Amino acid sequence: MKYVSTRGQAAPVDFVGACLAGLAPDGGLYVPESYPRIDPARADEPYAHVAARILSAFAGDAIPEADMLAMCERAYASFSHHSVAPLTQAGPGLWLMELHHGPTLAFKDVAMQIIAQLYDYMLGKTGRRLSIVCATSGDTGGAAAAAFAGAKHADLFILHPHARISPVQRLFMTTTGASNVTNLALDGDFDDCQAIVKSLFADKAFADKVGLSGVNSINWARIAAQTVYYATAQAALGGKLRFVVPSGNMGDALAGYVAARCGLLAGGLEIACAVNENDALARLFNTGIMSRAAAVATPSPAMDISVPSNFERLLFEATGRDGDAVRGVYDQYRQAGEAGLPDTARGRLDCVGISASTVSNGETLAEMARFESETGWLICPHTAVGTYQARQTPRSDVNTVVLATAAAAKFPETVKQATGLDAPLPHRCGALLARGEVFERLPAEPSAVRAAIESKRRAVS
């Protein structure tokens, strides 16, 4: 099983190489050289077994299947619901797929829990050790902290903008008590954090010395892990399904595309991406133009994305796997701040079964209130973007599955504003939150972050 870059100028690598590198050396994203055929999930198959089968198909010879199963069982034992991604009915033909039963109450846990297992396994085999850096505006940092806490071969450094993320989100990152997790609170905004991570990777000597790596939304392992719940939803409900996916970087929706390509969905692909007022993805699908726009604040901050990074993987397929064409689009976008998609790619995108549309801030808050009055359940603002979209486009011929990407309790301020109700954290979070917070406040300077990484990372044994 080999992985190639979407920009066509990097040598193929195996699963381990693709996962540990994240971004390909030519700036592209890794995709499988060809999509494996995978048997659909069975209704009675435990989640960890489905995950092991699917991830083994993507890993090829790189990891023995028994080891993969052991890792998946450990990863998903951390979820409070033994189905991992249970379906609940919200109305006739309308289902929520609850992806928020992991340790930090957001769907990022589904991929991050298994990625941490995979990293520790792969690093242990190769005798390498890595310093993983992660800039976060919220959910990714917490999910990474929970997953990598106690990892033997990796140290995790999380950069967050000081006093600019929600208290609950910060607590999930800063209370792990693990010596291999370091939280750096920078005096700056999220863009500063991201710019510093970029500059660390650009400093080749430093990156090599500390074994710098990332776990962001472009990592192939994340996509692979997220295909699993599309397969289990298909097994549970049967027939053709429509998925509505609250989207930011489009990792989640892309996983649905991959599931279909591998034969895990019946009746073909239908995915509606629902985005907030940061509508770059909807503009891409509806106008064929990739254009720069400053991110605006919304009630669904995990989707405040100005360039949906995983779109590149879909564009690669839509160009007929033409790395030169993909590179051309991104080069032009970088230079001019705007790029049109090639006509042939636009034509193919129209047929792939994915669409995207925008939901406003006001519609999101009203949907949270309406959902509560109709079902008695509180939903998070990201999920509400999805249920609103589903409601706008009712369907009688298929079951609709909306991905519930976080628990309401993770966004108590927004829930209160929308519904007037409190969304208390579940019991299982109590012990974690009773621990003291540990973070280090630093100026938003690459040199300060470099020094922190040098002093905190464990020496190579």
Q: Residue 271: which H helix or E strand, with range?
A: strand 271-275
Residue with smaller CB distance to ligand PLP, 231 or 305: 305
Tokens coding 344: 């042939």
DSSP 13: B
CB of 247 to ligand PLP, least distance (A): 4
Q: How far apart are CA 51 and CA 71, in angstroms?
A: 10
* Interacting span for ligand PLP (CB under 6 A) from 18-26, 113-121, 243-251, 346-354: 243-251
Cβ density class 398-427: b for 16+ within 10 Å, e for less: ebbbbbbbbbbbbbbebbeebbeeebebee
Specify the residue, 108 or 391, whose C-beta has the smaller distance to ligand PLP: 108
- Scanning 89-97, 245-253, 312-320, 327-335 for contacts with ligand PLP by CB under 6 A, the matching segment is 245-253
Interface mask (CB under 6 A) for ligand PLP, residues 290-329, using x and -? ------------xx--------------------------
String of contacts with ligand PLP for each residue 183-222, x by CB under 6 A:
----------------------------------x-----
Extract the tokens encoding 137. 């505006």
Q: Which of 2, 108, 152, 204 is catalytic?
A: 108
CA-based torsion, 220, 116, 181, 202: positive or negative: negative
Smallest separation (angstroms) from ligand PLP to the CB of 379:
11
The region of 162-170, 240-248, 348-356, 417-425 touching ligand PLP under the rule CB under 6 A is 240-248
Which 76-115 positions form the footprint of ligand PLP (CB under 6 A)? 106, 108
Rounded to a whole number of angstroms, the minimum distance from the CB of residue 404 to ligand PLP is: 9
Is 108 an active-site residue?
Answer: yes
User: Looking at 6, 113, 247, 319, which residue binds ligand PLP (CB under 6 A)?
Assistant: 247
Using CB under 6 A as the binding rule, whether residue 175 contacts ligand PLP is answered as no
Q: What is the distance in angstroms between the CA of the first residue and the CA of the last residue of the chain?
A: 31
**Pairing verdict, β 271-275 and 354-358:** parallel
Sign of CA dihedral 221, 223, 224, 226: positive
In the block, which residue shows the tokens 């990407």? 405
The Cβ of residue 365 has, within 10 Å, a number of other Cβ atoms equal to: 18
Instruction: Pick the closest to residue 14 from 62, 71, 73, 80 (CA basis).
Output: 62
Pick between residue 182 and residue 249 the one whose CB is nearest to ligand PLP. 249
Candidates 22, 161, 188, 248; binder of ligand PLP (CB under 6 A) is 248
- Our CB check for ligand PLP shows the closer of 169 and 176 to be 169
Q: Which is nearer to ligand PLP, 260 or 406 (CB)?
A: 406
Q: Is 367 in the site for ligand PLP (CB under 6 A)?
A: no
Binding window for ligand PLP (CB under 6 A); candidates: 123-131, 168-176, 244-252, 352-360: 244-252
What is the amino acid identity at position 53? R
Contact by Cβ (8 Å): 222, 115: yes
Residue 227 within binding range of ligand PLP, rule CB under 6 A: no
What does the alpha-carbon distance between residue 394 and residue 373 come to, in Å, rounded to a whole number?
A: 19
DSSP code at position 299 = S
What is the Cα–Cα distance from 48 to 50, expressed in whole angstroms? 6
Q: At 91, is the secondary structure helix, strand, or coil?
A: strand
Q: Interface with ligand PLP includes 382 (CB under 6 A)?
A: yes
Q: Which is nearer to ligand PLP, 244 or 444 (CB)?
A: 244
Chosen residue from 136, 180, 234, 249 binding ligand PLP by CB under 6 A: 249
Which residue has 């994915």 as its token pair? 354
Q: Which of 103, 246, 299, 342 is the binder for ligand PLP (CB under 6 A)?
A: 246
Residue 252 interacting with ligand PLP (CB under 6 A): yes
**Residue 55 in the binding site for ligand PLP (CB under 6 A):** no
Q: Rule CB under 6 A: say whether 251 interacts with ligand PLP.
A: yes
Contact criterion met (CB below 8 Å) for 323 and 241:
no
> Would you count residue 357 as binding ligand PLP (CB under 6 A)?
no
For position 405 contacting ligand PLP by CB under 6 A, the verdict is yes
Residue 25: count of CB within 10 angstroms of its CB: 12
- Shortest distance (Å) from residue 27 CB to ligand PLP: 19
> String of b and e for 188-214 (b: at least 16 CB within 10 Å)?
bebebbbebbeebeeeeebeeebbbbb
Among residues 159, 222, 186, the alpha carbon closest in space to that of 23 is found at 222
Residues found near ligand PLP in the complex (CB under 6 A): 106, 108, 139, 217, 246-252, 302-303, 382, 405-406
Q: Which residues are catalytic?
A: 108
